[in-house]
Amino acid sequence: MAARTFTINDQLVSGREGETILEAARENGIYIPTLCHLDGVTSVGACRMCLVEIEGSRTLRPACVTQVVEGMVVHTDTERLRNYRRIIIELLFAERNHICAVCVANGHCELQNLAIAIGMDHVRFDYAFPVCEVDISHGRFGIDHNRCVLCTRCVRVCDEVEGVHTWDIAGRGADARVITDMRQPWGESTSCTSCGKCLLACPTGAIFRRGATVSEMERDPTKIAFIVAARDQRW
């Protein structure tokens, strides 16, 4: 595979042909915030946290799905991008009910980590306080829609890695919800194998292990990429 040399934040870096800006940046130790991206499953460019500026490009581009091009000049940490990332996180906090102090994922939550990394000390928007369901019909896991950011990592991991497609999205816009099967309670899902991959993939406290209490939902989403690598290398 041919190498590509380009610039990120005034630093000359190299990447491989076909690689994304995000992958190349990480290999070179450059941090780009992400939320919907999950190593091991397809990227969808949905959360817009990883947007970067590319000189000569009219629009901001998501680093997780944009391939590297020889000689491109990328900026990942400009004033404008920092401002927009903070607004994205604030919009998420205002959209549903994130009460960190009583959340199972407190201290182990990617949304919380992003808010801290970005320096979000308060939310400048009015909270929507929507009424959201908590479904604990499954014997081992639960889903709390108050905490869901609709990143679809659960949808993709269940479909692409477990090969089941229990999860999907129903509804549109602010009314969108992740659902199991044809919107049955999770416990009544006939497709779910109870493998727990969605639990591993979820960045927030939305999908949790039943019985877990505040701050106990620690998990390691990099295991997904490990499983995928193990599968792909078997023949």
Partner 1 sequence: MDLSELIEIAEHERASRRSIRIRCCTALGCQSAGALSLKQRLEEAATEVERQDIEVIGVGCMGLCGNGPLVMVDPDGVLYEHVRAADAPSIVAALDGGEATAPLGDPQHPFFTGQKRIVLEHSGIIDPERIESYIAAGGYQALYHVLHEMTPADVIDVITRSGLRGRGGAGYPTGLKWATVAKSHGNRKFVVCNADEGDPGAFMDRSIIESDPHKVLEGMAIAAYAVGADQGYVYVRAEYPLAIQRLQKAIAQARRLGVLGAQIFDAGFTFRVDIRVGAGAFVCGEETALMASIEGRRGQPRPRPPYPAESGLWGQPTLINNVETYANIAPIIRHGAEWFASIGTETSKGTKVFALTGKIRHTGLIEVPMGATLRQIVEEMGGGVPDGHVKAVQTGGPSGGCIPATLLDTPVDYESVQRVGSIMGSGGMVVMDDATHMVDVAHFYMEFCKDESCGKCIPCRAGTAQMLHMLDVIRAGQATPADLEQLEQLCLMVKETSLCGLGQSAPNPVLSTLKYFRAEYEALLNHNADRATTEP
Stretch touching ligand FES by CB under 6 A, among 28-36, 78-86, 96-104, 224-232: 28-36
- 188: left (phi > 0), else alpha (psi -120 to 50), else beta? alpha
CA angle at 93 for the pair 24 and 176, rounded to the nearest 5°: 85
Stretch touching ligand FES by CB under 6 A, among 34-42, 156-164, 172-180, 201-209: 34-42
- For β-strands 61-62 and 51-54, DSSP reports them as antiparallel
Q: Does 49 bind ligand FES (CB under 6 A)?
A: yes
* Closer residue to ligand FES (CB): 92 or 179: 92
Question: Is the separation of the CB atoms in 109 and 204 below 8 Å?
Answer: yes
Which entry of ligand FES, ligand SF4, partner 1, none binds 175, CB below 5 to 8 A by partner kind? partner 1
Which entry of ligand FES, ligand SF4, partner 1, none binds 202, CB below 5 to 8 A by partner kind? ligand SF4
Which entry of ligand FES, ligand SF4, partner 1, none binds 34, CB below 5 to 8 A by partner kind? ligand FES
* Closer residue to partner 1 (CB): 63 or 224: 63
* Closer residue to partner 1 (CB): 150 or 199: 150
**Where do contacts with ligand SF4 occur on this chain (CB under 6 A)?**
148-154, 157-158, 162, 164, 166-167, 178, 192-198, 201-204, 206-207
Paired tokens of 43: 């990227």
Question: In the chain, where does DSSP find H-type helix?
Answer: 21-27, 79-95, 110-118, 153-156, 197-201, 222-232
Among 64, 89, 105, 201, binds ligand FES (CB under 6 A): 64
Among 35, 41, 111, 200, binds ligand FES (CB under 6 A): 35
Question: In 96-177, where does DSSP find H-type helix?
Answer: 110-118, 153-156
How many CB atoms within 10 Å of residue 110? 20
- What Rg value do the Cα atoms of the chain yield, rounded? 19
Question: Is the separation of the CB atoms in 197 and 226 below 8 Å?
Answer: no
Stretch touching ligand FES by CB under 6 A, among 30-38, 112-120, 126-134, 197-205: 30-38
Q: Does 88 bind ligand FES (CB under 6 A)?
A: no
Which of 59-96 are b and which e, b meaning 16 or more Cβ less than 10 Å from the residue's Cβ? ebbbbbbbebeeebebebeeeebeeebbebbbebbbbb
* Closer residue to partner 1 (CB): 149 or 157: 149
Min dist. Cβ of residue 234 to partner 1 (A): 26
Interface residues toward ligand FES, by CB under 6 A? 34-37, 45-50, 62, 64
